[in-house]
Amino acid sequence: QAWIDSLQREVYQLRCEVDELRTEVLAAREDFRQQSRQSTGSAPAAAPLYNDAMQMAIQGHDATTIAHHCGIARAEADLVVALARNRYEGV
């Protein structure tokens, strides 16, 4: 029983962490959308990195691989993966 209780506590803690990460990703996504709406159409210099990251995410690469390959932060790669998953879910 103690083992089960320990596992249940760990699952609860992991769920809390996932909820926090989900909130952060949603906030970052909204910031990204607002910045996209406000842009004047000129692409920032870093855009090719994110294009590459998006292509890798579409191909199914994980965030760690994308971050290392594209030279971006893991949190940015997580966001790219989430965006790709949402954008291409039905495709």
Q: With contact defined as beta carbons under 8 Å apart, do 50 and 71 qualify? A: no
End-to-end Cα spacing for the chain: 45
Cα 70 to Cα 62: distance, rounded to the nearest angstrom: 12
Residue 90 has pLDDT above 70, yes or no: no
pTM over 0.85: no
Residue 59 has pLDDT above 70, yes or no: yes
Residue 66 pLDDT class (50, 70, 90 cuts): very high
Count CB neighbours of 32 within 10 A: 15
Q: With contact defined as beta carbons under 8 Å apart, do 70 and 52 qualify? A: yes
* C-alpha count within 13 angstroms, C-beta hemisphere, residue 27: 7
